[in-house]
Amino acid sequence: GATPPPQSVGLAIGPASCSAGKAGDFGCSGISLRARLPHGAMGGSDGNDIWGWTDPQTQREYALVGQTTGTAFVDVTDATAPRYLGRLPTQTTASAWRDVKVYQNHAYVVADSAGPHGMQIFDLTRLRFLPSIPTMFTPDAVYTGFANAHNLAIDESTGFAYAVGTNTCNGGLHMIDIRTPESPVFA
């Protein structure tokens, strides 16, 4: 039979079963759409990255959505009713290249082609108790050892972050000791 159109769940759209290669407006192969939030519902326009974090204390699950104008935080614990909690605006200007990774309950955000953005550091445990939703956040720290980075990798076993495509180190790996999450040090 035909797939019914997606239904609204608050700001979310969905669900839609995968049928004949489509789940709502999206192509699929055996995976149905539980729900989705349009970028406009998360205070942004376009997206370019997504990462996740599970709060070890509450077991709540979050999507960290890289957008052209910042990073959106979405509670996805109930997959059928994602809740947009707020955003961390870009440190400088809009960019189609933003990357987000997590280490020790902190999000690390870099951007390329956004001027002297550096690496934003955000304590994700702040998502536990919000005075209002949505909340406009500020970073807990900003690492300024580079201006821009195209990508970020973190070795969670050692506590080192590796920024790639920066304006330093001839565009190679810019290595940062993040073992003290809000006090990064060039390695």
Backbone angles phi, psi at 15, to 5 degrees: -85, 170
Closest CA to 85 of 103, 107, 101: 107
Looking at residues 119-146, what average pLDDT do you find?
97
pLDDT at 49: 92
Provide the 8-state DSSP code for 3.
P
pLDDT at 12: 83
Rounded-to-10 torsion of CA 113, 124, 129, 65: 40
pLDDT digits (tens, 9 = 90+) for 159-178: 999 999 999 999 899 999 99
Higher-pLDDT residue of 140 and 7 is 140
pLDDT digits (tens, 9 = 90+) for 87-126: 999 999 999 999 999 999 999 999 999 999 999 999 999 9
Mean pLDDT estimate for the chain: 93
Counting beta carbons within 10 angstroms of the beta carbon of residue 176, is it exposed (0 to 12), middle (13 to 18) or buried (19 or more)?
Answer: buried
State the pTM of this model. Answer: 0.92
